[in-house]
Structure 1
Amino acid sequence: MMLRLAFALILFALPVRADVEIQDVTSPGGIHAWLVESHELPFTALEIRFRGGTSLDAEGARGAVNLMTGLLEEGAGDLDAQEFAKARDALAASFSFRPSTDAIAISARFLTENRGEAVDLLRLALVDPRFDPEAVERVRGQVLSGLASDAKDPGHIAGQTFDSQAFGGHPYGSDGSGTPESVRGLARDQIVAAHDGALARDRVYVAAAGDITAEDLGALLDRLLGDLPAEGAPMPQRADWMLDGGVTVVEFPTPQASVRFGQQGIKRDDPDFFPAYVLNEVLGGGGFGSRLMTEVREKRGLTYGIGTYLAPMDHAEMMMGYFASSNATVGQAIEIVRGEWRQAATEGVTAEELEATKTYLTGSYPLRFDGNGPIASILVGMQMEGLPIDYPVTRNARIEAVTLEDVKRVAERLLRPEALHFVVVGQPEGVSSDG
């Protein structure tokens, strides 16, 4: 109990800082990582990402990567699920395993005094998971319960419908959790194959922050990851965009229609990404200060919340938005979104909007570095996006360099009102599918 309390106190005692010094570390075995040393407290945060995620599901095994990831902490080596949990808790360590479309994320938190034992336990989960039949059935049941819940969620239905129309048979076009039929049909050998294909050294990214030196981190990396397969499953091909502008209505009995809307987006490494980022913030990404929030919620009260975001994925790029509105008013809200899209595409943003957005984006950025866990997460994300190691130092200057002319040029290039597609899940009045 005292170790758990100490661990919790450490999590809340870490200082906020943005002037991080990042070390580029390569283990003796050739595994690469970024590190921010901080010896103020005896605690380390470790973030690991394996590129590929649920997009690596084999043909006929949709949901295998998701199910496999949920089983990593359900017994490993000589420890069954209960024994593994007891060992982790005795060390006051914390592990999490999270699949997403393009990656498997693994987070570990441990005290310095227990580092060796915590790393050995995590290694078991990654290298030697048991996939015991009873654990497989328990986690399978949890996945099926989640799928049943999703089938009743209008927002989830809207998102999955949009993805299916945009990407068709590509993995991006279906739910990474699988379908009830595919999940029920997954056999243990398919789960083992998903493990071997997804957790491999040729796609791993690592970051650490806290009470550990570069030398110790290098040894830790080889100990933790060195026995994983050298190469994993092939990555998916690029996803072709298959969705034209228009509206799709999915009938669903609910008083509030849920809406997902979007178009093709912009790559993260595109030279115009920063102007596009600023543009999105003005249009729909800035909370209560955005144009869409002002026009749709504040002036007309048509929704409680509306937002947009850039989604540069590994194999496709989107610019997406979301809101919910009553069935009686959702059509009006859609027309306002179209109008704001059109106006931004032709006029860009104002000087006042640009300066306010720059102030917000540059001022809020240091607040992200609020402890070892967030720092490690930021560093591993930077690596996956191909950003340079000095990005935390140069990022705000890149925001400040964006001009009105940049935003207007990118708005004309990026925003395509005629290509904007809306998926509406509900019983919208005066709105119907047009495709």
Structure 2
Amino acid sequence: MNIALAPAASAQSDTTRIQRVVSPGGIEAWLVHDKTLPLVAMEFAFVSGAAQDPADKPGTASLMSSLLDEGAGDLDSRSFQDKLAEKAIELRFDASRDSIGGSLRTLSENVAPAFELTRLAVNAPRFDEEAVERIRQGQLASLRRRANDPSTLASLGWSARAFPNHPYGRPVAGTLESVPTITREDLAAFAKRTLAKDNLKIAVVGDITAETLAPALDSIFGALPAKAELTPVPDVVPQGLGTVEVKTLDVPQTSVVFGGIGLKRNDPDFIPAFVLNHMLGGSAFSSRLFKEVREKRGLAYSVYSHLAPLDHAALILGGTATKNERAGEAIDLIRAEYLKLLTDGPSEAELDDAKSYLIGSFALRFDSSAKVASQLLQIQIDNLGIDYIDVRNQLVAAVTLDDVKRVAARLKANPELLFSLVGKPVGVVPNGG
């Protein structure tokens, strides 16, 4: 697999095409120089996120990130957006639990104004009252819609039960009660303490050279504080394992979110666990959960699981939706299949099929400049090393049945799952306490 967006002219390693660019001021970015199309994609992230929200004001990171491109420097919101539109520049920001992310797309001929607007957004956001109130109302409207969405409620309920009195238990988008209390001063203070150079990761892909990018990094990010002022977030394990939470909602289907203890991304057994999860619920058609829950019994249209290695918690998560009258049957089956896989392990044929799929599908993550930039950014965030693209498929291919069984034995030490259900489930006894 070659991460070039066109056939490589020579048989060079993937990672020889990834350049580590360091600006004169010491800011680092990973670059894939590709002249196939006159485009430049930049992905960057500040490791912080909604985990840094004040305990009484969840939603601060989300609201702040949504406002970074709503006016900056001497440009109000309309003027800033007009500048983007004039040059067909796409600039977006968002917040996750553990990071504030930025995404830039531009024609290479417009890279200078694109970088300048990005500089303004991260260094001099205005947080004008008009923009704050407009984006706040949009966030509140979204929260009202989500208040009647079963899958969203199930996910929020799971997090709240799993992480009481911890940042991960609070909703990233905030609540209808908290968002109105977030002031302009809160937003400015949050930006000042979380957007800094020491927690910044950058990936760039496209028609730009290292010689052009290096000084641009200082221009965009050089004036940021040297160090972020982050509140320590404690490591945590999910609570409530082995229990079922139910929120009653008058809908024909029950939405189900389930999860338990997984492995952190830096765990030496993460790749075997990744392969094991693919056999559990990571494949749309060949996983055990798909075969048992959908194909054999017709309980759900889809069912899935995935590893979720957060910065301060290691999880395995999954979900499905089923008719209310079959909800109890569905969660009993999910429990049983998970425990069966952990107890007996997979067959050699299952392992071979899983590895073949995971190796073959890896290239699909790199079929556009935006996807390449996103992958390079995540590799940096996960501290996997600049050669990870070269070695990833080798790591998957090297997983043995003994490796998978060892991981299964580790997970079986804490096999209980927490279920969060929203609907009118039948055959389910809530025992969340």
State whether TM-score is above 0.5: yes
Secondary structure of the corresponding residue to residue 137 of structure 1: helix
Secondary structure of the corresponding residue to residue 328 of structure 1: helix
Residue 15 of structure 1 and its aligned partner are, at CA, apart by 4.0
Residue 338 (structure 2) aligns with: 341
Q: Of 293, 297, 320, which aligns to 1:296?
A: 293
Change (3 A) 1:418 1:269: closer
What is the letter of the counterpart of residue 188 of structure 1?
Answer: R
Secondary structure of the corresponding residue to residue 33 of structure 1: strand
Contact 1:56 1:233 in 2 (8 A): no
Count of equivalent residues = 423
Q: Of 113, 116, 136, which aligns to 2:112?
A: 116
Residue 51 (structure 1) aligns with: 47
Residue 328 (structure 1) aligns with: 325
Q: Of 56, 76, 86, which aligns to 1:90?
A: 86
Residue 240 of structure 1 and its aligned partner are, at CA, apart by 4.2
Residue 58 of structure 1 and its aligned partner are, at CA, apart by 2.3
Residue 168 (structure 1) aligns with: 164
What is the letter of the counterpart of residue 103 of structure 1?
Answer: S
What is the letter of the counterpart of residue 115 of structure 1?
Answer: V
Residue 350 (structure 1) aligns with: 347
Change (3 A) 1:417 1:231: closer
Q: Does 1:308 align with 2:305?
A: yes
Residue 381 (structure 1) aligns with: 378
Summarize deviations over 1:295-325 as a string: whole Å, max 9, x none.
0001110001000000000011110110011
Residue 231 (structure 1) aligns with: 227
User: For residues 309 and 152 of structure 2, what CA distance do their matches in structure 1 show?
Assistant: 20
Residue 361 (structure 1) aligns with: 358
Residue 403 of structure 1 and its aligned partner are, at CA, apart by 0.5
Summarize deviations over 1:130-151 as a string: whole Å, max 9, x none.
1111111000000101111111
Summarize deviations over 1:375-417 as a string: whole Å, max 9, x none.
1111010000010111111110100100011111111211467
User: For residues 102 and 7 of structure 2, what CA distance do their matches in structure 1 show?
Assistant: 23
Secondary structure of the corresponding residue to residue 168 of structure 1: coil
Residue 62 (structure 2) aligns with: 66
User: For residues 31 and 362 of structure 2, what CA distance do their matches in structure 1 show?
Assistant: 19
Q: Of 276, 284, 289, which aligns to 1:287?
A: 284
Contact 1:69 1:97 in 2 (8 A): yes
Secondary structure of the corresponding residue to residue 288 of structure 1: coil
- Correspondences of 1:174-323 after superposition (within 5 Å): 174-234=170-230, 235-323=232-320
Q: Which moved more, 1:31-40 or 1:308-317?
A: 31-40
Residue 372 of structure 1 and its aligned partner are, at CA, apart by 1.4
> Structure 2 unaligned runs (5+)?
none
What is the letter of the counterpart of residue 183 of structure 2?
Answer: A
Residue 34 of structure 1 and its aligned partner are, at CA, apart by 0.7
User: For residues 77 and 271 of structure 1, what CA distance do their matches in structure 2 show?
Assistant: 46
Percentage of matched positions with identical amino acids: 45
User: For residues 413 and 16 of structure 1, what CA distance do their matches in structure 2 show?
Assistant: 43
Q: Does 1:159 align with 2:155?
A: yes
Residue 4 (structure 1) aligns with: none
Contact 1:247 1:423 in 2 (8 A): yes
Contact 2:329 2:427 in 1 (8 A): no
Secondary structure of the corresponding residue to residue 79 of structure 1: coil
User: For residues 305 and 99 of structure 2, what CA distance do their matches in structure 1 show?
Assistant: 22
Residue 237 of structure 1 and its aligned partner are, at CA, apart by 2.1
Contact 2:40 2:207 in 1 (8 A): yes
Q: CA RMSD in A?
A: 1.6
Change (3 A) 1:121 1:418: closer
Residue 351 of structure 1 and its aligned partner are, at CA, apart by 0.9
Summarize deviations over 1:361-385 as a string: whole Å, max 9, x none.
1111112111211111110100000
Residue 141 (structure 1) aligns with: 137
TM-score, with length taken from structure 2: 0.95
User: For residues 320 and 54 of structure 1, what CA distance do their matches in structure 2 show?
Assistant: 19
Residue 41 of structure 1 and its aligned partner are, at CA, apart by 2.4
Residue 283 of structure 1 and its aligned partner are, at CA, apart by 0.7
What is the letter of the counterpart of residue 280 of structure 1?
Answer: N
TM-score, with length taken from structure 1: 0.94
Residue 18 (structure 2) aligns with: 22
Q: Of 401, 421, 432, which aligns to 1:424?
A: 421
User: For residues 307 and 401 of structure 1, what CA distance do their matches in structure 2 show?
Assistant: 25
Residue 109 of structure 1 and its aligned partner are, at CA, apart by 1.1
> Structure 1 unaligned runs (5+)?
1-12
Contact 1:342 1:416 in 2 (8 A): no
Secondary structure of the corresponding residue to residue 301 of structure 2: coil
What is the letter of the counterpart of residue 121 of structure 1?
Answer: L
